[in-house]
Amino acid sequence: MGRMTATPAPTPEPAPADRSATDRPKRVLLAAPRGYCAGVDRAVIAVEKALEQYGAPVYVRHEIVHNKYVVQTLERKGAIFVDQATEVPPGNIVMFSAHGVAPTVHEEARQGRLATIDATCPLVTKVHKEAIRYAKEDFDILLIGHEGHEEVIGTSGEAPDHIQLVDGPEDVASVEVRDPSRVVWLSQTTLSVDETMETVDALKDKFPQLISPPSDDICYATQNRQTAIKELAGQAELVIVVGSRNSSNSIRMVEVAKQAGVPAAYLVDFASEIDESWLEGVTSVGLSSGASVPDVLVQEVLEWLAQRGYVDVELVKTADEHLTFSLPKELRRDLRAEAAELVKE
């Protein structure tokens, strides 16, 4: 950067009021952080390591993470994705996804004589442990989350007799508990922070003695990506979030952008899904990606936008992320030999 001089610059003439959007420079506001979180990175590497160590096939119960590109890439390497552990032939290896599973699924794998690798995100495991602890203390547990989501199913399975699902503030009126002085809330890790706290506030109005978990259940990556989206939304006319439609955290990012006031926000798996009509009259495009999205997909969107004149890329950084998780301990064992022994029993 050159030295600044003290010579006053001439006062610029104001731009004509009717200057069209096409005359203004086009730019992309690129969110940071975005993409892979530590739990997703751990899970994807775990599948790759298992294939490398044990050879194909390695079975994975449900999508290892909610991203179409990641699943297709791992399938080409030899991973086989199944809906239930009961679909896996005895004597094989099955991995549980980052979203976590209920104890009944572990039992199904044992009954099916399968060697297992648990790739549950450690932050989801934390919620599971909280559910188990509060159930042992005979609390009613109000789990804030979306019905049918794999993470909610897994957490609920840890204490089915003590947990009831609260799917947003509108569900609070119908919630009943045994003892209002012994109630705690937990939450799915990938929710909108604002929406979750709205639900918590409604629950506290109904149950003033409601206990909060020891630490926030919503994961750091979800919060950070939502914070960055809010920042983008204040500066952009259009926000594009790269992510799959079954990715809860990606969907929430689009919702957060809209709630923050951006005129339009869309979710796409690939650059090819972007509709050029979205760019009409738009000079500033905000771009981010969900926590299960590899950055190669974001780079493809940047290239697509550059081809249409959006060559100025400005990083909008709202947090630093340095967290990493160690790989599942099962990868340190000879699981092929263990699986073979299980079949003999």
Name the residues annotated as catalytic. 151
The closest alpha carbon to 22, from 279, 341, 199, 266, belongs to 279
* Rounded Cα gap, residues 59 and 237, in angstroms: 43
Residue with tokens 């099962």: 330
Which residues, including other chains, have CB under 8 Å from residue 114's CB and lie 6 or more apart? 59, 85, 88, 90, 91, 92, 93, 94, 339, 342
Crossing angle of helices 193-206 and 220-233, in 10° steps, is 110
Query: For the chain, where are the alpha helices, taking DSSP H only?
Result: 38-54, 68-77, 103-111, 122-136, 150-156, 193-206, 220-233, 248-259, 295-306, 335-344
Question: 104, 157 in Cβ contact below 8 A?
Answer: yes
Residue with tokens 């952009």: 236
DSSP 162-181: TEEEE-SGGGGGG---S-TT
Q: Which amino acid is at 255?
A: E
Q: What is the sign of the dihedral through the CA atoms of 137, 142, 145 and 147? A: positive
Q: How many Å from the N-terminal Cα to the C-terminal Cα in the chain?
A: 72
State the pairing for strand pair 284-289/265-268.
Answer: unpaired
DSSP structural state of residue 190:
T
User: Phi, psi (5° rounding) for residue 84?
Assistant: -135, 150
Question: 31, 232 in Cβ contact below 8 A?
Answer: yes
Question: 36, 291 in Cβ contact below 8 A?
Answer: yes
